[in-house]
Amino acid sequence: MDNYVSNDLFEVALSKVSGFEFENFACAFMAVLDGRSFIPMGGVHDGGADGALDKEMYQTESTNIFYQMTIQADYKAKIKQTVKRLREFSRNPRVIYYVTSKTIPHLDKEEDILSEELGVLVRIRDAKYLYFHINDNQATKSSYYQHLASKTEYLSRVGASTSLGVSDFVKDPSIFVFLQHEISNRKGNIKLIHSITDTLILWALRDTDPDKGIFMTKDEIRDGIIEKFPWSSYFLNGNLSSRLDALKSKSVANREIRWYKNDKKYCLPFQTRESIKLENSADELLALNFLREIQDQCSTMFSLGHKRCQIIADLTKNIIQRVFERQGLMLASFISDSDGSINEKELVISDCIEDILNSSSIKPNDIPDYRNYIEKILNSVFYHSTEIQRQYLLQLSKTFVLLFTLKADPRIVDYFSSMWALLNKSNFC
């Protein structure tokens, strides 16, 4: 179906949505599924009872069935508070539908526990429920495109993924995430040097738009790439023309560019942007799932609240990236044939932990506790990793190896391209 909602894009959109945006989506979505009309109970602030209730609360045609649409993570506290507030304002809730953008583990069990404790039938519609039903019919899909689709438009740009955080060693590391993805997934007999050149061309054309009359000439493409990535000049001039011809001839699946012969200009068509969006969403989702697993581990191992576990997960992710950066620097030093005097401290993970913690907003008195939590989580990630964690670490490793290798000596691209050709000719690959 043309307007099928990608689950990856849907999940990324839920992670980016604001409370108000999610409310609008959830009202439209649940109205279709449950066949109800929703009457907002809060947000009026006119001094009456309704205005004093949460703006996320909605009443149905039945006076004792209520819906709450929220992105708040602490669902238990939120549901308990909601029931309490309803009763304070002389409402007699029989059923509470709690619709959330978060995924709640052991959902059936949690519903039973809360229902028994509160004396109200609690039904939770979490992110998994929303994923399962988003493509049910045209109306459910429309609720996504009307209220959430805009949250993933940034992924249409080459190098748009935020899965890699800010790096001290490169201004825009996101392009290297996309570059390693392209290289890892290249098909057929395309050479490494051609795959890299293709990716840089797509990156250069990222802001073009035929509807807005924004195009680029060959010279503008070349100059834009070399200005941002000076190391590319080694191989770009000798490959740019042939790769532009290949991309405009549609010989590279899902990576076509549009060529305007009379003006001798290029741009990215809509179809290519959509393909890039779907692939960027996979990288974005991997990083999101990695963070969620770290948060879950934190909650299980230390019984900490959601907010604190979120801080620990973010710090852990930054520390892991710092470790890979240090390893990448050592690789670059080796490739560039320096004097070999590598500081052994660059390999010590505890130094990376201290760097990140000391530059964070954590209060000095709390740093020892955070250090203890993070060290235990890192031990689990590195030595007892899950499948998602291994995938994320592999992506991170590939990205930083590529980043520092190309910055250190782009001639290595020629070397691996030649090796690929020899192996292919010898039927070893």
Inter-residue long-range contacts of 411-420, CB under 8 Å, 24+ positions, other chains counted: 411/234, 412/335, 413/192, 413/193, 413/196, 413/234, 413/235, 414/193, 414/235, 416/192, 417/191, 417/192, 417/193, 417/194, 420/191, 420/192
d(CA 3, CA 144): 10
Q: Check: CB of residue 68 under 8 Å from CB of residue 82.
A: yes
Burial string for 291-302 (b: 16+ CB within 10 Å, else e) reads: bbbbbebbbeeb
Q: Check: CB of residue 173 under 8 Å from CB of residue 39.
A: no
DSSP H or E run through 185: none
At residue 94, the pLDDT reads 92
124 CA to centre of own chain: 25
User: What are φ and ψ of residue 310, in 5° steps?
Assistant: -65, -40
Q: Check: CB of residue 130 under 8 Å from CB of residue 145.
A: no
List C-alpha distances in Å: 323 to 86, 193, 269, 349, 397.
Answer: 50, 28, 38, 6, 10
pLDDT tens digit at each of 429 positions of the chain? 468 999 999 999 999 999 999 999 999 999 999 887 777 776 543 333 333 456 677 877 777 889 999 998 889 999 999 999 889 888 889 999 999 999 888 899 999 999 999 999 999 999 999 999 999 999 999 999 999 999 998 888 776 666 666 556 556 666 666 677 666 665 555 677 888 888 889 989 988 988 889 999 999 999 999 998 888 888 898 899 999 999 998 766 677 899 998 999 999 998 888 888 888 888 888 989 999 999 999 988 998 888 899 999 999 999 998 888 877 666 555 555 555 554 544 457 888 899 999 999 999 999 999 999 999 999 999 999 999 999 999 888 878 777 777 765 556 555 555 554 554 555 444
Domains of the chain in start order, with CATH, are 7-44+52-151 (3.40.91), 155-271 (no CATH), 275-337+344-422 (no CATH)
Residue at token pair 């997960």: 313
3-class DSSP string for 330-360: HHHHHHCCCCCCCCHHHHCHHHHHHHHHHCC
Q: Check: CB of residue 292 under 8 Å from CB of residue 15.
A: no
d(CA 234, CA 414): 10
At residue 45, the pLDDT reads 39
Residue 39 is encoded by which pair of tokens?
């009457």
Q: Is the pTM of this model over 0.85?
A: no
| Angle in degrees, CA 172, 5, 157, rounded to 5 | 20
Q: Check: CB of residue 248 under 8 Å from CB of residue 272.
A: no
Residue at token pair 């992670």: 15
d(CA 421, CA 416): 9
Q: Check: CB of residue 193 under 8 Å from CB of residue 179.
A: no
| Angle in degrees, CA 405, 409, 412, rounded to 5 | 75
